[in-house]
Amino acid sequence: MTHTLRLHEVANRELGDAAQYYDVESPGLGSAFIDEVETGFDRILQHPQVAPETRPGIRKVVLARFPYSLIYEVSDEVVWVLAIAHQRKRPFYWDRRR
C-alpha cells in the first residue's frame, strides 16, 4: 500500500523554525537538517509500521544527525506527521495535535 505523507500545520512550522535556526548557526546547516528530515520521511513512507510506538498508534523516528524526532501516526492511506520534535523539549507536548 502506498501512503501519502502530510504534515500537521504546526509540525511544518517546527521544520521551518529548526532549519532557520541551524542556518543562523552555520550557513547551509539548515539545508542539511531538511535533507535529514526528508530522509526520515522516506524511511517512514517505505516502512510506516517499523518505528516503535511511543503511545498507542503514535510512532517515532529519531534523526541520525540532529537531536530531533519525527512523531507520526498512520491511517489507512495517510502518514500524519504530528511533530518534528526536539529531543530535549517537553515530552508529548504535541499530544493534542491528534
Q: Bridge-partner residues for 62, per DSSP?
A: 69
Q: Is the pLDDT of residue 91 over 90?
A: no
Sorting pLDDT into bands at 50, 70 and 90, what band is 19?
A: very high
Whole-number pLDDT of residue 58 = 95
Whole-number pLDDT of residue 90 = 80
What are the chain's domains?
A: 4-88 (3.30.2310.20)
Residue keyed to cell 509500521: 49
| Measured distance CA(93)–CA(90) in Å, rounded | 6
Considering the entire predicted model, what is its pTM? 0.91
Helix (H), strand (E), coil (C) string for 12-39:
HHHHHHHHHHHHHHCCCHHHHHHHHHHH
Sorting pLDDT into bands at 50, 70 and 90, what band is 11?
A: very high
pLDDT in tens, 44-84: 999 999 899 999 999 999 999 999 999 999 988 999 999 99
Q: Is the pLDDT of residue 26 over 90?
A: yes
